[in-house]
Structure 1
Amino acid sequence: MPDEGHHCASRGLRYGDPTPSAALELIRSQPARYRRRLPHPPIDALRRRPAPGAWSAPEYACHVHDRYDVYGTRFGRTLTEHEPTPEPMRDDERAEQGACNQQSPTAVPPDLDRNADRFAALASEISAPQWSRSAVPLPRERRTVGWMVGQAAHVGLHHLHDIGATSTDRAVLFDVDGVLVDSYPAYRRIWSRWATHRGLDPDLVWSHTHGRRPVDTIRAVAPHLDAAAEYRLVREFMAHEGDSFPVYPDAAAVLRLLRDRRWGVVTSGRTPTVLPRLRAGGLPDPPILVDSSQVRRGKPDPEGYLRAARLLDVPAPDCLVIEDAPAGVEAARAAGMTVIAVRTTHPDEELAAAHHRADTLSDALPLITDWLDRTHR
Structure 2
Amino acid sequence: MKITHLALAALLLAMLPTVSLLNAAEAAAAEDQESASGLYDALKADPNDQSALNAYLQATISPAMKQSVDDPKGALKQLEEVKKALSELEPTAPLAVANFRQMDRTLDALIQRVELQQISLNDLRAQLDAAKQDVSLIGKYSTKVMMELSTEINEDWQKAEKTLDAETAYLKSLAESAETDEAKAAIQGAQNMISRLVPNLERQKKLAELIGKPAMPLSAQAWVNGAPLTDDELKGKVVLLDFFAIWCGPCIMSFPHLRELNEEFGDKGLVIIGVTGYYNYGWNEEKMAPEPVRGDMVSAEEEQAMLHKFAEKYELKHVFAVDPEGTMSKYYAVSGIPHMVLIDQEGKIAMVKVGFGEANSKALTAEIKKLLGAN
Relative to total residues, which structure has the larger helix share, 1 or 2? 2
After TM superposition, the score normalised by the length of structure 2 is: 0.27
After TM superposition, the score normalised by the length of structure 1 is: 0.27
